[in-house]
Structure 1
């Protein structure tokens, strides 16, 4: 079979180009250190490499989110810890201040110390992060959450929003402690109602609990408890806000709970004729209001050691304990979040190692095999080029 000069040149040129392309591909692999640089190098491996790379990018983002969440939870945990310690100090100061042997001036000094600590507690509750966002304002990160109004009551300007961060597939972790749940919504230690002791009180008694025991028959209202004479003891009349009698207890005994309108009230101590107090619905108490009321009690010389003051004292101590426990719960929740983040972070680190190992197996180049292959390709290219140069320069006239 005869081969034309054109065919010869075409075939040899094609062979040289193919060998050059193979050698260039091997050189590219040697330069990058990767066996698979394009999908054409290994289509099946390329798909797996893309999937693993996407997973690594996702895991890297999760790790960044975890670092962000750790930072915010760590700050919140630290601030709540400081608040908890400050409350312990203020509770001790309050107990010191109600000592009957202290003078009015001594109590005022303790009250002033408590005021200073209360300002510090308020500053902690209004803490900001490194970006100037308020830690305890829920979603309203630009709103200062806590402030006392003109009447001395605490007003919360944040919301109950729980900000979250995506830290794993279908896993979100809260990165803040809403201020209302941490500082404003402590369960009322007395139950479902709050008590207002009156200055006219003469007997030594306290309300231990006031709870709803029958939701179906419960009638929420402000109730007045009047103790009226019935020698040798007293009777009790309970009136609603319309001054209508809703319960009467003849020969009142503090050992027996008072039940009316789905409410059970337990008292301790000995009331006397003429004593009275009111009761209104109250499910939650604010640690700020409790501490503020404690300071007010210390600053009133006539109230501190009065029957009313002693009854109020027992209630305030319970409210302060409940408020401090609520802050401790919020702190515990942030600690639980931090512990979860540590566990998830460790899992992501392991996942990255496994993914990187799989990527290495799929795409990393075996240098010894690649160099050997390149030498073979170079030898073949040189051989083809040499043959082509000799054949291409051959002419019939050389044999005439």
Structure 2
């Protein structure tokens, strides 16, 4: 029995629209490769896609920062390693000079020239640049860290940091004052002889960590000169402080102090008496220059000179170890970030991208259904080509 024309037309219209819509959607899926093409199509899914895009973009920035940090810290590690080698060689040269009592003034001057050349190399290292930015210039980036004449630090007061993950950041351009600071202290007050008596009694109140120490001198029963004062400090505070009598480049003498602990510093709370002018705290470049100036004036190195070079080497090695530790964290983060990137992109693809093979199958199925619909109509109306001949 044939269906009435109006019912057949109604069924045809409904099925024709549905199948054409499905064919159109699958055609677009195949052509664009996207299942979601507009926010209105599927708001919840689109929102999830947008959030995933934000996470992928943030991860991309963190990955770029990590690569940036990796490059900078690798070069910083290399530079500090070269400085270690230079200072180690200077220490060996100075040790030979100190153990030889037969060096002439000319030989000491020649040794001084070697120290001058090495210090220029060290200056080049601490003022090293990566691109347009100074490796040890801290947050100022483009300001040369160390003055070529005074050797004083003149750049940023803090490290330049970048975020390498949502919760962690690392320093990539280091603040050179901290990196090359020593815990060596030399009195600004000088004496013509280590045994010259103090003219004014006083005290040194200093702090190391959480502990405060008071050293009295010049009074009755107290050290009367810097030689006695150095011996007194070593005898009574030797587990925390090391004291020396050191010859200055001009031939005078100063009291020199350092901490026993490599990573500790001395904070001077108050100083009275002959030493009230305070203490200078040379950086590594200034330590080498001080020794160079002494040798150039024909003055034999003393125990403090050897100690200061050895301490400078230890400090550079410690800073290099710190850089290496951070560099290890940065490098270990790479596979984690790469895996997370793959996961996020897979999640985004699952939500956003069309399954091409499935879409082709669906397209074929809808096409067959449309052809079947046309055959049904043709059969119901007995439409053949012979009726039109």
State the TM bucket, normalised to the shorter chain.
0.7 to 0.9
State the 1:382 CA deviation.
2.8
Identify the match of residue 257 of structure 1 among 209, 225, 232. Answer: 232
Shift of 1:277: 5.4
Per the alignment, residue 183 of structure 2 pairs with 187
Q: Does 1:343 align with 2:332?
A: yes
For the 8 Å contact 2:135–2:174, the answer to whether it is kept is yes
User: Deviation of residue 348 (structure 1)?
Assistant: 1.1
Alignment of 1:191-202 (within 5 A): 194=187, 198-201=191-194
Following superposition, the deviation at residue 97 of structure 1 comes to 3.1
Whether 1:166 and 2:163 are equivalent positions in the alignment is yes
> Quick one: structure 1 residues 385 and 40, their matched pair in 2 at CA, closer, same or farther if it must change by over 3 Å?
farther
Aligned residues: 342
Determine the C-alpha separation between the residues in 1 that align with 2:359 and 2:155: 64
Correspondent of 1:332 among 284, 297, 321: 321
Q: Is the 8 A contact 2:30 2:359 kept in 1?
A: yes
The match for 1:107 is 108
Counterpart-to-counterpart distance in 2, 1:124 and 1:361: 51
Aligned counterpart, 1:70: 70
Q: How does 1:102-251 map to 2 (within 5 A)?
A: 102-130=103-131, 132-149=132-149, 153-183=150-180, 185-188=181-184, 194=187, 198-201=191-194, 212=206, 238=218, 248-249=222-223
**CA shift in 2, pair 1:87/1:211, >3 Å:** farther
How far did residue 253 of structure 1 move? 7.3
The offset of 1:292, in angstroms, is 0.8
| Partner secondary structure for residue 285 of structure 1 | coil
Higher fraction of strand: 1
SS of 2:163's partner is: strand
Aligned partner of residue 162 in structure 2, secondary structure: strand
- What is the deviation of 1:181? 0.9
Q: For residues 228 and 136 of structure 2, what CA distance do their matches in structure 1 show?
A: 46
CA contact 1:34–1:365 (8 Å) conserved in 2: yes
Cα pair distance change 1:200/1:376, threshold 3 Å: closer
Shift of 1:326: 2.2
Taking a change above 3 Å as real, the CA distance of residues 170 and 268 of structure 1, as seen in their structure-2 partners, is closer
Shift of 1:316: 2.2
Shift of 1:157: 1.0
Which ranges in structure 1 are unaligned for 5 or more consecutive residues? 204-209, 224-236, 239-244, 270-274, 305-309
Question: Aligned partners of 1:383 and 1:268: how far apart in 2?
Answer: 104
Contact 1:193 1:211 in 2 (8 A): no
Alpha-carbon distance in structure 1 between the residues aligned to 2:85 and 2:213: 42
Relative distance call for 1:324 and 1:53 in structure 2 (3 A) is: same
Contact 1:177 1:334 in 2 (8 A): no
Alignment partners' CA distance in 2, 1:276 and 1:147: 27
Given the superposition, is the C-alpha separation of residues 193 and 89 from structure 1 closer, same or farther in structure 2, using an over 3 Å criterion? closer
Contact map agreement 1:23 1:377 (CA 8 A) in 2: yes
- The 2-side partners of 1:250 and 1:212 are apart by 19
1:288 corresponds to which residue?
285
Ranges in structure 2 where 5+ consecutive residues have no aligned partner = 197-203, 246-251, 256-274
Stretch of structure 1 that moved more, 167-176 or 23-32: 23-32
Cα offset, 1:389, TM superposition: 7.4
Quick check: 1:254–1:266 contact (8 Å CA) kept in 2?
no
When the two chains are superposed, the root-mean-square deviation of aligned CA atoms in Å is: 4.0
Distance 1:276 1:359, change over 3 A: closer
**Are the structure 2 counterparts of residues 196 and 365 from structure 1 closer, same or farther at C-alpha, using a change threshold of 3 Å?**
same
**SS of alignment partner, residue 370 of structure 2:** helix
Structure 1 residues 51 and 213: CA distance shift in structure 2, 3 A: closer
Check conservation: 1:26, 1:374, Cα contact below 8 A: yes
Native 8 Å contact 1:140 1:159 kept in 2: yes
C-alpha displacement of 1:164: 0.8
In structure 2, the residue matched to 1:84 is 84
TM-score by length of 1: 0.71
SS of residue paired to 1:67:
helix
Q: Give 1:49 shift.
A: 3.3
1:377 is aligned to 2:372 = no
Report the equivalent of 2:312: 323
Report if aligned partners of 1:93, 1:114 keep a CA contact under 8 Å in 2. no
Could you say what secondary structure the match of 2:133 adopts?
coil
